Structure 1
Amino acid sequence: MSEKIEIKAYTGPAGGWGSMQGLAEIGIRERSGPETARELGRQNKTGGFMCVSCAWGKPAHPHPAEFCENGAKATAWELTRFRVTPDFFREHSVADLRTWPDHDLEQAGRLTHPMKYDASSDRYVAVSWQEAFTAIGAKLKTCDPTKVVMYASGRASLETSYMFALFARMYGCPNLPDSSNMCHETTSVGLKACIGSPVGTIQLTDYEKCDAIFYFGQNPGVNSPRFLHPLRSCARRGVEIIVFNPLKERGLERFTDPQNPFEMATGRSTQIATQYHQVKAGGDIAALLGMVKHVIHLDDLARETGAPRVVDQAFIDQHTKGYDAVAAFARGIDWATIEHESGLTRAALEGAGAVYARAKAAICVYGMGLTQHVHGITNLQMLVNLMLLRGNVGKPGAGFGPVRGHSNVQGQRTVGITEKPELVPLDQLARQFGFEPPRAKGWDTVAACEAMVKREARAFIGLGGNFARAIPDHRNTEPAWADLDLTVHIATKLNRTHLLPGRSCYLLPCLGRIELDRQKTGSQTVTMEDSFSRIYGSRGRVEPAADTLLSEPAIVGGLAKATLAPNPKVDWDAWVADYGLVRDAIEATYPDQFARFNERLHVPGGFWKGVPAAHRQWMTASGRAEFNVPEVLNATGFDEAAGRMRLVTLRSNDQFNTTIYGYHDRFRGISGTRQVVMMNRADIAAHGLADGDTVDLVGDHGDNGHIRVAGLRVVAYDIPRGCVGAYYPECNPLIPVAHHAKESHVPAAKTVPVRLERAA
């Protein structure tokens, strides 16, 4: 990295000219041609292609430019003019490439040929597709299927995901970890237990009907910038937006709409948050409890005076279970404890609670800041407690709005990418395809990592993603890859995981979603599901980066044919020739959610698969929505100790998950480096440091006590005392594999125990 390092506070809004400059920079960097500008006009629109970045909804009536800065970066990144050909690998050994930064690996360009790792030369060498399929199939036949990891990134289409899951189960492999395991599994487990539905309950149009939004641990300016448009609309019509987040994030403070000529010409912006509470990392349980306590207090006063009730007692009586226990707990907890655990004052929490008490329809938005904690499930339970108090589930303008990351991570789970057998209609699959699927629970992401470290896993097949970089504890997990008998990676670009070859290793390059997918029956459409449980068709039309590329369904079909015995009920070749046949199979497996699938591919705004809790149908054990008394009041899973800090891992403005587009975190004013640690000025002074000093972050609890991430520049930042912020995935080594959410096993990346040491 040769960029100049500059740390300077950014005073502008989200969006605006800064966003336009970011788009121009990525276009120049990727040598974008006219096809990039042309395709941006089709992005997230009916008949066009669905963004390869986040899973935010696609409105039925889109903006002229229905893309954001990061979505445009993702498009330019995929349509780059750079290529990684066999010549590239002749010039660079794998050992050499391992020294490259993450950004430089992907910046090298699109992969063009199927490759096999040659250990004698430490290089990838080109092979034919048939050679690759045959060799991989032969190797898989020698493996115990229960020791194979079949990982799926959240970007692959519904068609590919269904085929991949079916291939795994027909092979006998129950291990289908995915991106959800790393991010939002807490939602799948927590909401499922509380309200019977494992996904959000609102629709995009509910933002037009709400009068309050409560926002926890999600950064729209970086992770879902198109969300800023409905937030702006809500703010302008007087919706109160109450934010809880350790760091001030510019997208939640103010936004200039790049599509509004007046705002662009005048530099005006819209204030987003009406209240902004910098909750201590891991303090959301207590913050939510404070609001619950205040609402119940107001309701008690109303009952004493004969005023209208504050809680919705009719809803509670008809639809819920456990209210009395939660109310008693909230009445009994003292404010000093709540203030200590949350890092917020009683007055602040009562102010937020007062907004909730008078709101007629409230939405709760949240992201990984709420789910990636040891007690993330308790975070979700407290959020549900708050929403149930006033019946804010299953009515217009109210409900839960978890914001997903990868563009189809929710959809993959819908069509069978899961290690949990109870989430898949296995009996239907057995009837439909004439085989007996495995019934045992498989490995999730954490279990897969543990199995690799213990040398129990024997093979890894990755459907996209950068698994080795996304997971915790790199320094313990990375050496385990060399002991795998087989590693296979389906990918568009080179990344760190590809440079950790097993004894046999193949790199299989695929078409991107924006590219024209020609098969025997013509050009194909794929589908995906957004954060609102809506399904969209997506059709690429750009000429492929190379004529040697295969589509993801074609690669999965090729692997399945080479590995499995012929099955007259599964014609992989026919499926690859016509993805409509795959959709017919999906509809047969999931008839309630995918009725008339092929007919509804291009419904404006997508078609809704349905969410029972949105209709107040509670698919819980009790048949009711359930209140829960919290077992703990902070979500960290570790105790306070002298010198111990709570690390929050963060994404920059110039990245999407593990993809690093550049080194310019505009909103945080950090340019030219990612090797920083953001600290409260008082903590800097207490440690005897100064802004600009260099320190190491060292693990400070249990399994990470020996881990060190060295050479981080101290940056004074507005963050609660006792908390520090640093970038993901660079600081993932500090997260022990065992440091994960209870029940959901999501890595607890938002509260990691660390201490600081001055760099040697």
Structure 2
Amino acid sequence: MYKTKDQPAAENPEELLDLKVTEPKKWAAGIPAVVAAMDDVLHEAGPKRGMEALFHMNKKGGFDCSSCAWPDPDDDRSPIAEYCENGAKALAEEATTKKLTGVFFAQNSVADLAQLNDYEIGKKGRIAEPVYLPKGGTHYQPISWDEAFKKIAGHLNNLKSPDEAAFYTSGRTSNEASFTYQLFVREFGTNNMPDCSNMCHESTSVALAEAIGIGKGTVTLNDFYETDVIIIMGQNPGTNHPRMLTALEKAKGNGAKIIAVNPLLEAGLMGFKNPQTVKGVLGINTQLADLYLQVKINGDMALLKAIEKLLYDAEVKAPGTVFDHEFIKYNTVGYTEILHQLATYDIDELAVAAGVPVKQIQEATDMLKDKKRIIICWAMGITQHENGVATVNEIVNLTLLKGSIGKPGAGLCPVRGHSNVQGNRTMMIWDKPKPEQLAKLKKVFGFEPPHKNGYDVVESIHAMNEGKLKVFFAMGGNFLSATPDTTYTAQGLRKMKLTVNVSTKLNRGHLVHGEESIILPTFSRSDKDMINGEPQFISCENSMGIMQMSKGILDPISDNLLNENQIVCKLAKATIGSRTVIDWDRYANSYDAVRDDIEKVIPGFDDYNKRIREPGGFYLPNGPRIGKFKTEKYGDKVAFTINKLPEHKLADDEYMMTSIRSHDQFNTTIYGLDDRYRGIHNERRVIFMNRKDIRLAGFKEGELVDLYNYHGGKVRVAHLFVVVPYNIPERNTATYYPETNVLVPIDSVAKKSNTPTSKLVLIKIKKHISH
């Protein structure tokens, strides 16, 4: 464990609990999901507060769930529960009645809190007042809002350059706060705006922006009900986006086929017991995947090419019957080149590279051959690889060959992980702003924004360690635990003169800090946000480009909180002072005022304040969704791309490791210590291995091991993990993050997107040595 003198560990304590292993489930949800959700909500918030909030979550006129970005239905929403188990657990975390005041921090030093695991830290409660850790201090202590802003402004104004500060954003930040945040940062003078997109769907954004002219998906929820085939790649909806299961069930009822692609057999891809139906309550399971392709880690590119190869062979035998030639002719370039590439491939070699038998690949091809209404979904299992951008490009290739875009029931569906991460980027939270975006800011506000690209997440971590950054400000999230190479990230954070976190709850990122540290407590989505006696609402964008309002209904845990937008505005006033050209008080007092100016700057937001008040919100413009393309290189056409197959050569004692969430987890927030779908109870320090690999390596089930990564000649170690046999391909392993983020090399990133390669880490496994 990384630890230096007088500093707490950067990682979870290396200690085991009392692991119990049961048979993995073959279905998700059902009554156990209801029981687990209710248990958390009632325990944390109590029956009245908890049930009142649940009834309003994801309802029209209610508040948006703070976990995943799966869209709400346009029309009918469940009268019982428009939320899933993990959404209810996310609510329990923020609706808790436990609160942390100055008394708590006086009784608990930073070092003592760091001895707790992430689950224990998160369960302490909501932060109820601003707190400050002075240089050399051991305990956070209360600080007034004005004094906190004064200290932060002092640090920012003492920098040699605005580029010595970085401003991080998590996906829970509202559209309004995101807009004022980027406005403040750019008026201050930098584009150093790393955000959580850099670590998840950045590969998607880069690939789709190049390929189809927009870095977003092209489908709506209703497309799932009109499609013929759904392919789900690198995604585990049962744990990460459970409300998607209802859409899949409805698609199946309408006749759709589902192809699941994943190295692990996941319960939420195999079956679904819908607890809101009589059938589900009776324990009757809806089979989801008609075909389950258990690829090797990062075998997705080879699988896509294998399917394309077999489709190509079928097209050669019966010209004009497999590929959509009319679509290809009028909408694409590069068709001849991709045909030449497909002709060179050997299906047996592609099958070996994918880890999937040719027979199963042929089954998938037969399901697609005569269909055009095809939806392809994907998430981190595709994007967090060195070839993440290229694999998304290959997904686009398959879609273009079949003409499966721009028509009902067909298209591209990247499933975003955090509830407003897509909205953040729409609101210009980006380290690489476009010239036309900056020109618009200048025209509307009258200041010259910086034009030099800023730091993304990986670049920010390097800049911290190289002394190029002095102040780190995080608008939400748990930067330390979300990022790769934990030891290196922690070293960088500790070199900061000041670290600031805008947070609702305590997390490990507050315990690994700069010389000085400040925590600014803010509202959660479910909290009632009152300004001048009037209840306010914010807006969010979901995975499918719908803007909708979110209005909290619970009394806040404390009277000493500010909303994120007010925090930004007050900090901007304190920092820029008389130099500012923006009326920050106007924004602080009115979300409507913020939305009025968003409308002036960002395309697609005409009549924002009027349309956001319509039940269900409104869709942002999306040309590819309706078959209209506009790309930078090819005008009104899209291009097929030629993508190389990745090569993976393993030493005899080397394995590929992918990082995954447990079912009791959302990103870095740990709800509990069980992963009941995979049969893991009361433990997180496990490594899933193929039984044959366990035997060949001389290990035994339940044995304690240490995990090593040697990328770039540097030794990275994660100590004390339990070997658990699992149905996973040979030489493939899986572990939970953030416990193994320490193994993810900072300089192993996706080409073009710079996304950390958390889904493929090369490791060696050795018997545990006590230390």
Q: TM-score range by the shorter chain?
A: over 0.9
Q: Choose from 81, 88, 104 the match for 1:88.
A: 104
| C-alpha displacement of 1:237 | 2.6
Is the 8 Å Cα contact of residues 37 and 85 (structure 2) preserved in structure 1?
yes
Of 29-38 and 293-302, the range deviating more from structure 2: 29-38
Q: Partner of 1:450 in structure 2?
A: 462
Cα deviation code 1:486-531 (max 9, x no counterpart): 1111000011111122122111001111111111261111000000
Q: Partner of 2:3 in structure 1?
A: none
Q: Partner of 2:414 in structure 1?
A: 402
| C-alpha displacement of 1:120 | 4.2
| C-alpha displacement of 1:436 | 0.6
TM-score, structure 2 as length reference? 0.95
Cα deviation code 1:566-587 (max 9, x no counterpart): 3675211121111100000100
Question: What does 1:45-194 align with in structure 2 at a 5 Å threshold?
Answer: 45-60=59-74, 61-64=76-79, 65-143=81-159, 144-194=161-211
Q: Choose from 202, 216, 221 the match for 2:233.
A: 216
Q: Distance in 2 between matches of 1:423 and 1:333?
A: 41
Is the 8 Å Cα contact of residues 208 and 397 (structure 1) preserved in structure 2?
yes
AA at the equivalent of 1:629: I
Cα deviation code 1:656-687 (max 9, x no counterpart): 00000110101001011100000011111111
Q: Partner of 2:551 in structure 1?
A: 539
Q: Distance in 1 between matches of 2:668 and 2:464?
A: 21
Q: Choose from 630, 634, 643 the match for 1:630.
A: 643
Q: Number of paired residues? A: 750
Does structure 1 residue 736 correspond to structure 2 residue 745?
yes
Q: Partner of 2:12 in structure 1?
A: none
AA at the equivalent of 1:55: A
Change (3 A) 1:510 1:431: same
Q: Partner of 2:37 in structure 1?
A: 23
| C-alpha displacement of 1:373 | 0.2
Q: Partner of 1:755 in structure 2?
A: 764
Q: Distance in 2 between matches of 1:248 and 1:619?
A: 39
Q: Distance in 1 between matches of 2:726 and 2:82?
A: 33
Is the 8 Å Cα contact of residues 155 and 471 (structure 2) preserved in structure 1?
no
Of 114-123 and 619-628, the range deviating more from structure 2: 114-123
Is the 8 Å Cα contact of residues 236 and 270 (structure 1) preserved in structure 2?
no
Question: What does 1:310-349 align with in structure 2 at a 5 Å threshold?
Answer: 310-349=322-361
AA at the equivalent of 1:376: G
| C-alpha displacement of 1:423 | 7.2
Q: Distance in 2 between matches of 1:490 and 1:614?
A: 36
Does structure 1 residue 599 correspond to structure 2 residue 616?
no
Q: Distance in 1 between matches of 2:572 and 2:581?
A: 14
- Taking every aligned residue pair, what percent have the same amino acid on both sides? 38
Is the 8 Å Cα contact of residues 517 and 524 (structure 1) preserved in structure 2?
yes
| C-alpha displacement of 1:3 | 5.7
Q: Partner of 2:268 in structure 1?
A: 251
Q: Distance in 2 between matches of 1:251 and 1:375?
A: 26
Question: What does 1:595-674 align with in structure 2 at a 5 Å threshold?
Answer: 595-620=606-631, 621-623=633-635, 624-634=637-647, 639-674=649-684
Root-mean-square deviation over aligned CA pairs = 1.4
| C-alpha displacement of 1:63 | 1.1
Q: Distance in 1 between matches of 2:534 and 2:694?
A: 62
AA at the equivalent of 1:421: P
Q: Partner of 1:207 in structure 2?
A: 224
| C-alpha displacement of 1:694 | 1.0
Residue 23 of structure 1 aligns to a residue whose secondary structure is: helix
Is the 8 Å Cα contact of residues 154 and 412 (structure 1) preserved in structure 2?
yes
After the TM superposition, which parts of structure 1 deviate over 6 Å for at least 4 consecutive aligned residues? none
Q: Partner of 1:684 in structure 2?
A: 694
Of 610-619 and 191-200, the range deviating more from structure 2: 610-619
Is the 8 Å Cα contact of residues 217 and 544 (structure 2) preserved in structure 1?
yes
Q: Distance in 2 between matches of 1:529 and 1:424?
A: 22
Q: Partner of 2:382 in structure 1?
A: 370
Q: Distance in 2 between matches of 1:12 and 1:3?
A: 26
| C-alpha displacement of 1:485 | 1.3
Residue 349 of structure 1 aligns to a residue whose secondary structure is: helix
Cα deviation code 1:699-724 (max 9, x no counterpart): 04325x41111111000001111100
Cα deviation code 1:399-438 (max 9, x no counterpart): 0011001100000000110001217611110121111100
TM-score, structure 1 as length reference? 0.97
AA at the equivalent of 1:653: H
| C-alpha displacement of 1:281 | 0.4
Cα deviation code 1:23-65 (max 9, x no counterpart): 1331344253411111111111110000011111011221121
Is the 8 Å Cα contact of residues 58 and 606 (structure 1) preserved in structure 2?
no
Q: Distance in 2 between matches of 1:664 and 1:37?
A: 24
AA at the equivalent of 1:180: S
Is the 8 Å Cα contact of residues 516 and 542 (structure 1) preserved in structure 2?
yes
Cα deviation code 1:416-474 (max 9, x no counterpart): 10001217611110121111100001101110111112222111000000001100001
Q: Partner of 1:558 in structure 2?
A: 570
Is the 8 Å Cα contact of residues 93 and 121 (structure 1) preserved in structure 2?
no
Residue 566 of structure 1 aligns to a residue whose secondary structure is: helix
Is the 8 Å Cα contact of residues 201 and 399 (structure 1) preserved in structure 2?
yes
Change (3 A) 1:742 1:568: closer
Cα deviation code 1:208-248 (max 9, x no counterpart): 11010111011111111000001011122321101111001
Q: Distance in 2 between matches of 1:277 and 1:405?
A: 23
Q: Distance in 2 between matches of 1:31 and 1:569?
A: 43
Cα deviation code 1:60-105 (max 9, x no counterpart): 2211210000000001110011111111111111111111111111
AA at the equivalent of 1:471: T
Q: Distance in 2 between matches of 1:424 and 1:42?
A: 39
Q: Distance in 2 between matches of 1:422 and 1:578?
A: 28
Q: Distance in 2 between matches of 1:486 and 1:45?
A: 40
| C-alpha displacement of 1:331 | 1.5
Q: Distance in 2 between matches of 1:36 and 1:682?
A: 47
Is the 8 Å Cα contact of residues 686 and 724 (structure 2) preserved in structure 1?
yes
